[in-house]
Structures are given as structure tokens and as C-alpha cells.
Amino acid sequence: MALTVTNVNTLSLLNILSRNTQAQSSTLKQLSTGFRINTGADDPAGLIASTLLTTDITAVDAAIQNNERTDSLLSVADGAMGEVSKLLTEIESLVAKSTNQSGISEAERSANQAQIDNALAAIDRIVSTTDFSGNKLLDGTQSITTTGVAGNTNIDNVRVFSRSQSTSSTSLTITRVTSAQTASAIFSGASGASARSNGTTEVVVAGTLGTATLSIASGKTKTEIQTIINNAKAQTGVSAILDSSGSIELHSTTYGTDAFVTVTVLSGGTINNSYGTATSDSDTTNDIASTSKTAGRDAVIQVNSQNAGVDGLDVSYNANGMSLGFSLTTAFGSGATSNSTTSFTVAASGGATFQLGTTSDTRSTIGIDSIASYNLGGGDSGARLNQLKSGGTADLRTNVATALTVVKKAVQQVAEARGRVGGFQKYQVQSALTNMQSTKTGLEAARSVIRDTDFAAATSQLNKDTVLVQSSIQLLGVASQQAAQILSLLG
């Protein structure tokens, strides 16, 4: 090759050195940042994909935080409801002890009443103080809004557990297809004012609340026998009436197939229409006879022309993203009212709304109704829980039978509310949280494949780039000897 001033070899080597140096810098940046893509020029398509994945991961992170917070909130509500359940169990025990009217003194009954008053106060205190980040949880603040319920004499205890995310209110028409019935049985068919028991009768009466063994002395009138049965109503859940024909009828104090009445005659049972010491009535149809278990009947109810689940007078309805329950009043549910339809509206507002996922269609709303004493009981229980307080219509000294029915109803309502919250927490929130965590793992893996540095490959590339840079520098020294050869010719 000719010797010229313009050293082409040097220029070529400088270009190669520049490229090798740039490659070395790029590899060093990948190793120092941990990212394969640091600028758009590194991988334009990869940059777009990794940016979109980063956006998805950010949304998933927010969803995870939302679900963790929701899970904590529902745990607070569950804990408070658990404590209320314990208090209700204590109240139920005190009421049950007080049903044994002849077995405890008035002083004991008064002491039991005082404990019930304290327990009811504790329930209302828990309800008023349970909050999360300043939001009350159990006082009805988180309940779903309804209209047409206040003043409605046909329904009671409306509780909306969840609703859809529709922006329109939902009107519900309730139709009574078949009325509910109590369990019933004829205790004695004797008629006439002179009918009395002949000889001592021992009889066992059993109902929904329990069993009582009754002793009916000889010579008791129908009215006196009725009183004996009704005095044990708190133990049995069975009441007695005199029907229009003069027979003694037994009825369960509640409605539905779970309500029942049984009578077992242990001894005696003779009823004489013409009562006399030496006179025996040969008409055994008047007598007290054992009866097999007779059950009541649940009402048949349709909500917006769809059959609803009914337990006695308690109705549950689930359709179109809505879940709710309510009680029929005794008059409406038993068919004592001429009208067979009623209605109310569930508004598209209220309730506790939670974001479970990353899109707007993953929101869910549940209703947490007040579990204060004034809002528990009701329906066919005959009273509210707060009426068990001293001086109330269902305190231990006024109506212990109703008190026991009310507290059992309250226990059921709180258990149902707690179960609803727990079910939402387990099957909605916690499952969504697990799903979001799995989704994040997948998105992180996909972004890593696109964006992150493969350190093994990058380290190998760095070694190669370093060798090439060093060799380029060495070769520049060789190329510079051409200039020295030109200068030697001039000398």
C-alpha cells in the first residue's frame, strides 16, 4: 500500500473503536441499571410493551392495597359482631333461666333483668363505637337505601345485603300466593261451660322452644286448663285458645314448617261435659289425647313474579346482583289482610362499595344494617330487642315468653349478618386479593423478560466489548507507525 498523509487505517480503527466503546457503554449501563431497555433506541417495541405492563402492574398494586384495606375493615366489623353475638347468647341464657317462673325468686329475676339491661347497653355501645378510618360500620351508616318501607304495615325487617352497580333504582313487588300458618292441634274437644277435667292429668306439651310437663288437677275448667298451658308458653312456644266451638286449641307461637306442636298424655286425660265426682263421660272425643307432631306452613311468596325463599314469615330473595331479606307482618303473612301484594324500592345508593379489581366493573356493594338493639328482633317475634329493657313490653317481669322469642330472633339476625359479611370477605375480597397477587406475579415475569438485563449474557458481552476496545487501541498504535515512516523519508 502507498504511504500517504491520509492514514485510512487510522480512520477505520477510530470508527471501530468508537463503535466498540459505545457497545461497551451500553452493556455497562445495562449492568448498572439492571434494565436491558434504558432508552427508546434500545428496543422501541420492547419499550412500548414494558411501559404498558408497568401501567398494568401499577393498577394491580392499587387493587391489592384496596383489597387489603377492605379485608381489614371487614375483619373489624366481624370482630364487633362476634362480640355482640356473645352478649346475645348471655341474654338468651338469662331469659331462659327466667322462664322457670316457679323455680327462681323475684330477687333472682330482678338480678337477671339488671344483667340484661347492661348487656343491651353494651350492644348499643359496640354498635355506636365500631368504626374504620372514621366510618361507622354497624350503626346503619353502611346500609343500602330503601324507600317504601317506613310505614309499610305488610313488611318489616328489610335488610338489603348487596345490590348491583346499576344507576337505576329497583322496584320490588311482593305477592302472597299462600299464607303462612302456625302449627296447631286440638288439646280437648270438650264443649259446654260445665266441661271439666275428671281426675288428675299429666301431659307433656312440646313446641319450638322446648318441652313442659303439665299437671292438670281434677275439676279444672277449660279456661283454667288454657291458663295452665299458656303459663308454660315461654318454655314450649305453644299457646292455647278457646275456639268458637268451645274446644281448646294449641298453636305454635311462630309460623312455618319449623314450628311444631306435640302432645303426650302420661296419665288421665278424661274431660267430662257434665262434671261430677261419680259421673263418667263415655264420649272420649272430649278427652285429652296424645297427638303426633304437627307442623306449621311457610308462606309462599313471589318477588317480581319469581319465587322467593321463605321460612315461616321470613323471606330471602336473590336475583340480578341483589340479595336481601325481610319479614312479613303477621297480618299480611297469615292472610288476615285482604290485600295480597305490597311493594318497596331498593335505591341505587348507599351501602359499602369496594373496588375488587382494576376495572370499573369489578366494584361490589354490600349493605351492613344496624345491629343496635332497636333494630333487632321484630317480624313474627312480636317485639324488638330493646323492649327487653326494664319497663319494656318484653322484660322478664312482663312477658318472658316474648323475650325468649325476640332474643332467639336477634341471635339469628346477627349470625346472618355476620355470615353475609364473612362470605363477602372470603369469597369476594380475599379471592380477589389472591387473584390480584397471582396476576401481579405474571405481569412482573412478562415485564422482566422484555425489560430486565440478563446478567449472564450482559457480563459475557462486556468481556467481549472490553477485549475489542483494548485491541482497537493497540491497533491504533500500529497504524500510527505509518506517519513515522513518512517523516523518516523527509529526513
- pLDDT band for position 426 (cuts 50, 70, 90): very high
User: Poorest-confidence range of 59-68, 85-94, 160-169, 250-259?
Assistant: 160-169
- pLDDT at site 30: 80
Instruction: Look at residue 235 and tell me if it is in a domain.
Output: yes
Yes or no: say if 315 and 156 are a contact pair by the CB < 8 Å rule: no
Residue 486: pLDDT above 70? no
Specify if 62 maps to a domain: no
More confident residue, 433 or 103: 433
Give pLDDT tens digits for 111-150: 999 999 999 999 999 999 999 999 999 999 999 999 999 8
CA distances from 489 to 3, 41, 181 (A): 10, 48, 128
SS3 state of residue 334: coil
The answer to whether 238 and 250 have CB atoms below 8 angstroms apart is yes
Residue 341 falls within a domain, yes or no?
no
Residue 147, number of CB atoms within 10 A of its CB:
11
* Average confidence (pLDDT) over 386-402: 89
Instruction: Pick the closest to residue 323 from 305, 303, 340 (CA basis).
Output: 303
How many domains does one find in the chain?
A: 1
Give the pLDDT of residue 38: 81
Give the sign of the dihedral formed by CA 445, CA 450, CA 451, CA 456.
Answer: positive
Flag whether 275 is in a domain.
Answer: yes
- Whether this prediction's pTM lies above 0.85 is answered by no
How does pLDDT run across 285-332, given as a tens digit for each residue?
778 889 999 999 999 999 999 999 999 999 999 988 899 999 999 999
Report the alpha-carbon distance of residue 170 to residue 163 in Å, rounded: 9
Q: Under a CB-based contact definition with an 8 Å cutoff, are residues 165 and 365 in contact?
A: yes
Query: pLDDT value at position 2?
Result: 57
Q: Which residues contact 97 (CB under 8 A, 6 or more apart)?
A: 104, 108, 112
Do the domain assignments include residue 15? Answer: no
Position 119 in a domain: no
More confident residue, 463 or 419: 419
**Would residue 281 count as lying in a domain?**
yes
- The reply to whether 377 falls in a domain is no
pLDDT of 440-458, one tens digit each?
A: 999 999 998 888 787 888 7
Domain of 252 in residue numbering reads as 182-295
Give the pLDDT confidence of 25-36 residue by residue, as tens digits: 888 888 888 888
pLDDT at 397 over 90: no
Is pLDDT at 345 greater than 90 in this prediction?
yes
What CATH number corresponds to the domain at position 218? Answer: 2.60.40
